[in-house]
Chains A and B, each alone.
Chain A
């Protein structure tokens, strides 16, 4: 009897002590995931005056790494559009990127291997500003990280090597809007607002239990750093749509470009196995080889080209020739799968998703990370506005505005990219005709082109 009593007391103690020890910290905001989007969000929360009073915790799974700018470029790059640039400028991150390295894209040419159709964008089209900027992932991440650790940002704590065991999210309609983050080492953190920036396989999203619409594309991306045959100014991004998928060269410096070659799984695996010289041959083939043409399609595009010429509009006949590749940087070849993903809800009580956790796109238009940075911009603006109005940090009204604002922007972009992928993944005559004429006409009419640009930079991204 006594024994059981003592045992029960001991177990009670254990319970209470574990509960006391469990809450290691209580925060206003916890950001799960310290990738490019998560770190930018943390940085913005430190820099925006209205948000700099919030206590923020950033949980990053990997260990803190020392960064050194290497001679050779990394094979993972992103194309950043003007919106992202202005966000980064406002956070003083851009100057770090400029000090390290980036390459502006001033001209872009996209063309179809199955016809003469072409579309080009140049910086003069878009108010004399660059079309996009090619930046290595780790350079951008380091620039953000550097700014995150300056004395300007006082309210952000970072835990590296954070292994998250699970989340306890607040119930719908409950008064308490606190989320609990449990770590696998036994620590727990509490927060008013949990932000899932933990990528396409987001655990936060899974804990929210929302519907996630996704499919894998029958394509993989082969990336590599290319050494070009000739030294040029190299501010042009090239993208050619082959029947197997688009192949893109993104400029890095005067002699180097980054490759993103989307192709079938089998072909991608084959390409990875090839010796370097054969890979370069296959690549030059992909950029230059003549594909079988259809007379009817060619006749139509020529006829339309003639009409456009007579109307004084660009007919797409003036094309620049892509560079040829001399070699690839050693050990720079890699491949990764592509997928589409859409979370039907970006928010739950006290929880919000940003970046790839909420949406994933095919990289053919270089929009993935730009959409994520757009999320950061809108989220911080809306949250600052909510606090300025005196609302709670997890108030549903601003969360709802965030969701509808971002979904109204992201979903059409995602669907347009998906449609482009489908339009170019088939090689049947009527489809080739439709897309060729579409490309030709879009290229001819300036306002449509600008409209395309406003929606996002049409550049490729790895």
Chain B
């Protein structure tokens, strides 16, 4: 499928040509803002949105409980993608000596979980208040021992200039759907990772099912996640994300679907990638 076909297909789906600039900044409303931030992936509106959640960020049964329970699938996904290990050889710190960059770490939910199993985690986020919260919380958590994640308030495109070819893995979990200029974002992530290192991404798929379940029902009817968390236009489909990665010197090794069950607050891997998916890619030479 060439780019033109892709655009046409997508136009049919979205029904709004202006919203379909696949590889540019996403929404027309933010066009002006976006021009000012032409070299930035940060969407200031989204940053503010998450800062508002500060107080409830670390409540496992609070408004963002899906992000907490999601650790039960994304931690194994990253762990097993990074260090395949037979059951007999397992130890409690499988990610020991692995340098991981958690892009868009927010309050540090995933960063702490990865640090707990031994990884040296660097968490970056554009929200200063969130980074402060993450630092504060990591100090309060006795289970981390001495292996505290280091948190930096920065953007990935700035960070990757300092740490080129540095990380064993870069993780962007539930982030890429929040950024402007998604290709710049991915390029920066890829730059920060070593050759042969891994990139892990989890994100909603852009499908009508996601729009219905993930936005309409979850945000507006059942209030499972705060209103305004997601914008449909920013979502990527699996082929789109694969395409972006592969044309930036990565090989997509695996993708799998994710399903969230709101009543039991549980995540499961699934063969259907219709709603959400997780993707693992390797940086080529």
Contact = CB atoms under 8 A, between A and B. Distances in A.
B72 A53 contact: no
Contacts of B117: 388-390
A390 B113 contact: yes
B75 A389 contact: yes
Nearest to B88: A49
A384 interface: yes
Contacts of A397: 69, 72, 266
A50 interface: yes
A49 B93 CA distance: 12
B76 A387 contact: no
Contacts of A50: 90-92
B interface, size bucket:
10 to 19
A50 to B, nearest CB: 5
Contact of A392 (B79, B114, B143): B143
B94 A388 contact: yes
Contacts of B75: 389-390
B251 to A, nearest CB: 26
B143 A53 contact: no
Interface of A: 49-50, 53, 384, 387-392, 397
A389 B119 CA distance: 12
A390 B109 CA distance: 12
Contacts of A389: 71-72, 75-76, 79, 117
A392 B69 CA distance: 13
Given A388-B79, A388-B94, 17 more contacts: A49-B88, A49-B89, A49-B90, A49-B91, A50-B92, A387-B92, A388-B92, A389-B72, A389-B75, A389-B76, A389-B117, A390-B75, A390-B114, A390-B117, A391-B72, A392-B143, A397-B72
A389 to B, nearest CB: 5
Contacts of A392: 143
A140 B88 CA distance: 26
B116 interface: yes
Nearest to B85: A388
Interface string B81-119: 000000011111010000000000000000001101100
A389 B266 CA distance: 15
Name the prevailing secondary structure of the A interface residues.
loop
A202 B114 CA distance: 38
A431 to B, nearest CB: 41
Interface of B: 69, 71-72, 75-76, 79, 88-92, 94, 113-114, 116-117, 143, 266
Nearest to A392: B143
Contacts of A391: 72
Nearest to B75: A389
6 contacts: A49-B89, A387-B92, A390-B113, A390-B116, A392-B143, A397-B266
Nearest to A395: B72
A389 B116 CA distance: 9
Contacts of A53: 92
A50 B94 CA distance: 11
Contacts of A387: 92
Contacts, number: 31
Interface centre among A49, A50, A390, A397 (most CB of B within 10 A): A390
A397 B113 CA distance: 15
Nearest to A387: B92
Nearest to A51: B92
B51 to A, nearest CB: 24
Nearest to B69: A397
B171 to A, nearest CB: 14
Contacts of B114: 390
A154 B266 CA distance: 36
A387 B76 CA distance: 11
A49 B113 CA distance: 21
A385 to B, nearest CB: 9
Contacts of A384: 90
Contacts of B89: 49
Contacts of B113: 390
Contacts of B76: 389
A392 B116 CA distance: 10
A200 to B, nearest CB: 31
A388 B90 contact: yes
Nearest to B116: A390
Contacts of B91: 49-50
Nearest to B74: A389
B267 to A, nearest CB: 10
**CB-CB nearest 8 A-B residue pairs:** A390-B116, A390-B117, A389-B75, A390-B113, A388-B90, A50-B90, A387-B92, A397-B72
Contacts of B90: 49-50, 384, 388
A384 B75 CA distance: 15
B42 to A, nearest CB: 29
Nearest to A386: B72
A168 B143 CA distance: 23
A380 to B, nearest CB: 12
A395 to B, nearest CB: 9
B253 to A, nearest CB: 21
Contacts of B69: 397
A53 B90 CA distance: 12
A387 B20 CA distance: 44
Nearest to B87: A384
B187 to A, nearest CB: 30
A388 B91 CA distance: 7
Nearest to B119: A390
A180 to B, nearest CB: 19
Contacts of A388: 79, 90, 92, 94, 117
A388 B84 CA distance: 12
B224 to A, nearest CB: 18
B86 to A, nearest CB: 11
B116 to A, nearest CB: 4
A49 B88 CA distance: 7
A389 B90 CA distance: 11
A50 B88 CA distance: 9
Contacts of B266: 397
A49 B76 CA distance: 18
A389 B79 CA distance: 8
A388 B79 CA distance: 9
A53 B91 CA distance: 9
